[in-house]
Structure 1
Amino acid sequence: MSESNSTVWPSLRVSDWQDTRETLHMWLQVVGKIRMAYAPLLNHWWQVTLYVSARGLTTSAIPYDNAVFDIEFDFVDHRLVIRADGGSTRSVALAPKSVAQFYDETMRALDELGLSTRIQGRPNEVEVSIPFAEDTQHRSYDPDAVWLFWRQLVRANKLLNEFRAGYVGKVSPVHFYWGAMDLACTRFSGRPAPRHGGGAPHCADWVMEEGYSHELSSCGFWPGGGAEGAFYAYAYPEPAGYADHPAGDGYYDRDLGEFVLPNEVVRKSNDPDAVVAEFLRRTYEAASTLGDWDRDALECDPYRWAQRRAATRWSRR
C-alpha cells in the first residue's frame, strides 16, 4: 500500500471508537431532528439528511418563519456551530459530555438566537431509545477518531457523487442519514414498490413505507459491516438472483441482506477508487438488470461534454 493510500484512506477500526461512535450518533440525531422540525417533507425523507462539508457535516439552510439558519458539526475545531441569517452565531463544544448535556446546550443555544425549537426527544432506529434529556450513558468523545471518520466520509462522498453522475433518472443527493448513521445515494427505477413491512426499531412503519415507496438500488458508506466500516449496496425489492451477482471485491452478507465491501479491503488495494467504482457499478447492475429497469432511458455518460469543456478557456477574470 502506498503512502498516498494510507493518507486518503485512513484506518479507523470500528471496535476502537465504539463508545464515541454511539455518543456521536445520538448527537447527530438531535441535530437531524432540528432540521426535520422545519424542513418541508420531501420524498423518501430527503429533507432530514445532513451533508459532508469542508469541516464535517452540515444541515444546509433550514427555514425558520421568514428567517434561515444552519448547523454544522465542525470536526476540525470540534464544535457544533449554529449560524443565523442575521450574522449571530453560537457554538457548543464537541468534547466528552453526556447526550443530555449536549442536548441541553444545543437547545439553549437555539433559544439564545431566537430559534426556539421543539423536537421529538428520543432517538430512532436504535434498539435502546433513551430520551436525549435523560441520556447520561453515552458521554464519550475521541476527537481523533471522529476526525478519521469524517475523512472516511469525505472520500466516500467523492466516489458516490462520481457514481451518481452516471444517472439521469430519479436519484437522491449523496446525503448522510442520522438514523442509521450512513452516507447514502439511491437510484430509482421510476416504478412504485411493494408496501414496505417496516420493522426498524423505534421507527413507525409508515416512515419506512415513505422511504421505500418506489423501486430502488441504494449504496453508501456505513461505520459497520467490516473491521473499519464498509461500503454497502442493496435493492428494494430485491430481484431474484440478486445475492448471487458478482460484486467485484465485495460480497453479499445474508445476515444484513446487502452487499458489503469492507473499508480495509479498499484501503489495502492498489487502486482504491477503482475497487469502489467497480463495486458500485456491479451491485447497481444486479438490481437494474435483474429487476428489468429501463437502463437506456435512466443512465447517461457523465463525460458526455468532456471535449467541449476541455476546449473552453477558463480564466480567473
Structure 2
Amino acid sequence: MSGPRNAWPTLVHEDLAPMVGYVNRVVQVAGKYTLDEPFEVGWGNVVLDVTPRGLRTPTFRRRGVTFTVHCRLLDGDVLIEADSGSRTVPLPTGSVATFYAAFRDAAAELGIHRPRSSLICEIPDCAPTFEADHVERSWDPGAARLMWEALNLAAGGLETWQAPFCGHRPRVGVMWGGFDLSATRHRVQPTEPPPGRPMFMQNAQLAAYVAVGFSFGDATSPSVGMYAYIWPQPDGLEGRSWGVDGAVWNADAGLVLLPWDTLGETADPHQAIVAFGDAVYDAAVELGGWPSGLIGPHVDGWYMSRTPPEVVRAQHHSA
C-alpha cells in the first residue's frame, strides 16, 4: 500500500477506512480517562500524542496509581504503563467488545479503574457502547503503518506552525472522538455556540479559535488531507489564496482543504503545512479581527546541543 519509507505515502480513504474505524474505537477506550482531567479550553486536555510508535494519552495521576495508555500502531497492541507495572493487550482479529474486556482486566491488575464511560462517540451508525460492539475486525499492519506515517508527517508540520504563537495553544494531538489530528490557536474572546449542538461541541466553541489539522476523511467526505477553519467563521473567505497551490475553500463544509496528494507534490510538504496554517491565520487577522501581535518570528532556536554557551550569550546580548 506504500512505497519506500522515504517516499510520500499514498493514502486512499476506502483502503484505510476499516482500520481507521477500528483504531478510532480502540483509542476512545483510553481516551475516556482524559475526560476526568482538568478541562482545557477547546478540549486541549483530551488530545493523544503522536509517538514514534502510535498514539499515547497524557500521564494520569489518580489516587494510588499513575499511568499512561499507548496504542502502538506499529506493534498492534495497547500498552498500559503504570508505577505498579505494565500490561500489554494485543489487537488481533476480534471485536471491540473483546478488546474492551481484556483492557479492563489488564488495567485492574495494575490498580486502575475502568473508564467511567464506555459510550462510543462521534462515529455514525456505531454500537452505543464498547461492550455492545461485537463486529469482528482484523488488524492490518500495513494500514496501521500508513496511518502512523501520515499522522507523524502532519504532526511535524503542525508543531512547527504552532511554535511561534504566543497565545493559548494546546499541544498538537489527535482528538480521539472525531479521530483527527488537531492544532488550535485560541483567543480570549467569548463566543456563543450555536444551539442544539452536542455538549462537547458547545464547550469547544466557548471562545474564538483557529484550527488546522489532518483527517483521514469519512464516508460523507472521503478526501484525505489537511483542513482548517476559523471559529466564528468570518465573511470574505471565498476567493482567497491559502498558501499552497491546490488548497481551496469549501463553503459547504465550512473548511479550507488541502488534499494529501496535493501536499505531497509540493517541494517541501513540511513547510507547505506551515504556509497553509499561516494563510489561515492571516485570514483570521484580516477578516476576523484577530490580533497580529500574537505571532513571533519563525526561528530555528539556539541549537544549544552544539553551540558553545559563550556564543549563545554573545548572540543574546547583541540581539
TM-score, normalised to structure 1, is 0.88
Say yes or no: does 1:14 pair with 2:13.
yes
CA contact (8 A) 2:184 2:212 kept: yes
| Residues 303 and 32 of structure 1, relative CA distance in 2, 3 Å threshold | same
Match of 1:41 in 2: 39
Say yes or no: does 1:91 pair with 2:85.
no
**Candidates 117, 122, 138, aligned match of 2:119:** 122
| Residues 121 and 311 of structure 1, relative CA distance in 2, 3 Å threshold | closer
- What are the residue-to-residue correspondences of 1:141-220 with 2, within 5 Å? 141-197=139-195, 199=197, 205-220=198-213
Cα separation, 2, equivalents of 1:77 and 1:307:
33
- What are the residue-to-residue correspondences of 1:70-81 with 2, within 5 Å? 70-81=68-79
| Residues 313 and 112 of structure 1, relative CA distance in 2, 3 Å threshold | same
Match of 2:240 in 1: 245
| Unmatched 5+ stretches in structure 2 | 311-319
- Of structures 1 and 2, the one with the larger relative CO (CA 8 A, separation 6+) is 1
Say yes or no: does 1:255 pair with 2:252.
yes
| Residues 198 and 184 of structure 1, relative CA distance in 2, 3 Å threshold | farther
Deviation of residue 64 (structure 1)?
Answer: 1.6
Match of 1:56 in 2: 54
| Residues 138 and 243 of structure 1, relative CA distance in 2, 3 Å threshold | farther
Match of 1:202 in 2: none
Deviation of residue 194 (structure 1)?
Answer: 2.3
Match of 2:316 in 1: none
Match of 2:290 in 1: 293
CA contact (8 A) 2:30 2:115 kept: no
CA contact (8 A) 2:209 2:231 kept: yes
Match of 2:299 in 1: 303
CA displacement, residues 68-106 of structure 1 (integer Å, 9 cap, x when unaligned): 0011011222110001113x1111112221111111111
Cα separation, 2, equivalents of 1:302 and 1:119:
42
Match of 1:269 in 2: 266
| Residues 240 and 115 of structure 1, relative CA distance in 2, 3 Å threshold | same
CA displacement, residues 34-91 of structure 1 (integer Å, 9 cap, x when unaligned): 332x4232222222221111111100211221420011011222110001113x1111
Match of 1:104 in 2: 101
CA displacement, residues 220-256 of structure 1 (integer Å, 9 cap, x when unaligned): 1111178662111001100111243211231112232
| Residues 243 and 132 of structure 1, relative CA distance in 2, 3 Å threshold | farther
Identity rate, percent: 27
Deviation of residue 284 (structure 1)?
Answer: 1.5
The residue type paired with residue 255 of structure 1 is D
| Residues 244 and 197 of structure 1, relative CA distance in 2, 3 Å threshold | farther
Cα separation, 2, equivalents of 1:241 and 1:27:
40
SS of aligned partner of 2:217: coil
CA displacement, residues 170-201 of structure 1 (integer Å, 9 cap, x when unaligned): 222101101110111111232112223353xx
Alignment coverage as a number of residue pairs: 303
Match of 2:315 in 1: none
Deviation of residue 311 (structure 1)?
Answer: 4.8
Cα separation, 2, equivalents of 1:230 and 1:133:
32
Cα separation, 2, equivalents of 1:84 and 1:269:
43
RMSD, aligned CA: 2.3
SS of aligned partner of 2:276: helix
Name which of structure 1's ranges 240-249 and 45-54 shifts more when overlaid on structure 2.
Answer: 240-249
| Residues 272 and 118 of structure 1, relative CA distance in 2, 3 Å threshold | closer
The residue type paired with residue 88 of structure 2 is S
The residue type paired with residue 174 of structure 1 is V
